[in-house]
Each structure stands twice: as structure tokens, then as C-alpha cells.
């Protein structure tokens, strides 16, 4: 009798953890950590905004996201509806998920400010799952003026 968790479930769980780590890094304002997460990967948003590698990813987040006195953007990225397709043989996976970003400030009640979708590609490198690519598409955009340092057009198709 085989007792334990199938390898496929180990992989899916590791990938879910990467998705959660991304959200935690953004919400902590840890843009260097985001750069590290995409050290060998690609991050892309609407249109032509695509960056590759540690320094470019960190730089784009620093240029795009407003950080407050506590060092954070005062947001919570809530990722749901996660669907992961793992190909153990090739060491690759694709994940699809929804994201809703909430923000609260001392003079602003907690509110959803943007909702969208991620399409992620992962690769297993030296037995460790890593982001190979993350693409974000916004579906609903509210008041992002206190979250972004750039115009909301960066989030609209």
C-alpha cells in the first residue's frame, strides 16, 4: 500500500505556495523579494509591459506601486479560484487564478480597488518549482490612485 501524498499533489502545493508568496511580497512592499522570485522569469501586465529578471522586475514594481510610511502599499492581494495543471514529466506547470486587491488607509475605508486574472507558467529547476512567467489581466478597475504611482491605464486593456 502506498501511503503519502502523490508527487503531483506535492508539486501543486509548492506552486500554490509560490502564488501566495508573490501576494505576501507585494503586500509587504518587498520589491527586492519580487525581483528574486522572478530572477529567471518574466512578469507581464496589460499590453506590452513585460520585464524579465531580478533587477527589471524590482525596478518596475518600485516605479509602479505607491509605498506608505509603514513600508507597505497598504494592500491585500487575495488570490482565489486557483487551477493548476502540472506536467511532472516535463517539469512544467500552468496555473490560472483570480486576484482581488483590497486597500485601506487611515482616511480610506477598506475597498476592492482592482480585480483580475493571473496566468502563470512554472518550471521545476533542480527539484524546486519556480515562476517562469506571470501575466496579469485586469477585469475590473476601481480607484487605484492611492495604490499606483502611474496612471490606471497600466491596468486597462
- Confirm whether 133 is domain-assigned: yes
pLDDT on residue 49: 78
**Is-contact 114 142, C-beta < 8 A?**
yes
Is the residue at 147 inside a domain? yes
Q: What angle do CA 11, 3, 10 make, to 5 degrees?
A: 5
Please tell me what DSSP assigns to residue 136.
E
Higher pLDDT, 54 or 7: 54
HSE, side-chain direction, 13 A CA sphere, residue 131: 28
Domain range for residue 11?
A: 7-155
Under the banding of pLDDT at 50, 70 and 90, the label for residue 1 is very low
CB-CB contact of 100 with 80 (8 Å): yes
Mean pLDDT of 29-37: 97
Specify the CATH number for the domain of residue 78.
Answer: 3.10.450.50
Q: How many CB atoms lie within 10 A of CB 27?
A: 18
pLDDT (0 to 100) of residue 153? 65
Q: How far apart are CA 41 and CA 51, in angstroms?
A: 9
SS3 state of residue 113: strand
pLDDT at 147 over 90: yes
Mean pLDDT of all residues in 138-156: 84
Q: How confident is the model at residue 63 (pLDDT cuts 50, 70, 90)?
A: very high
The answer to whether residue 2 is domain-embedded is no
φ/ψ region of 60 (left if φ > 0, alpha if ψ in -120 to 50, else beta) reads alpha
Total domains in the chain come to 1
What predicted TM-score, i.e. pTM, was given to this entire model?
A: 0.91
**Residue 156 pLDDT > 90, yes or no?**
no
1 within a domain of the structure (yes/no): no
Amino acid at each position: 500500500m502506498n501511503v503519502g501524498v502523490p508527487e503531483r499533489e506535492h508539486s501543486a502545493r509548492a506552486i500554490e505556495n509560490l502564488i501566495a508568496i508573490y501576494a505576501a511580497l507585494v503586500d509587504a512592499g518587498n520589491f527586492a523579494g519580487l525581483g528574486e522570485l522572478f530572477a529567471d522569469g518574466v512578469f507581464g501586465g496589460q499590453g506590452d509591459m513585460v520585464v524579465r529578471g531580478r533587477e527589471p522586475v524590482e525596478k518596475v514594481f518600485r516605479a509602479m506601486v505607491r509605498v506608505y510610511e509603514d513600508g507597505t502599499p497598504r494592500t491585500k492581494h487575495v488570490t482565489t479560484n486557483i487551477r493548476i495543471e502540472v506536467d511532472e514529466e516535463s517539469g512544467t506547470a500552468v496555473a490560472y487564478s483570480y486576484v482581488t486587491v483590497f486597500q485601506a488607509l487611515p482616511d480610506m475605508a477598506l475597498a476592492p480597488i482592482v480585480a483580475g486574472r493571473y496566468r502563470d507558467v512554472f518550471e521545476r529547476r533542480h527539484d524546486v518549482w519556480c515562476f517562469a512567467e506571470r501575466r496579469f489581466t485586469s477585469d475590473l478597475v476601481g480607484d487605484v490612485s492611492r495604490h499606483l504611482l502611474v496612471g490606471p491605464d497600466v491596468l486597462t486593456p
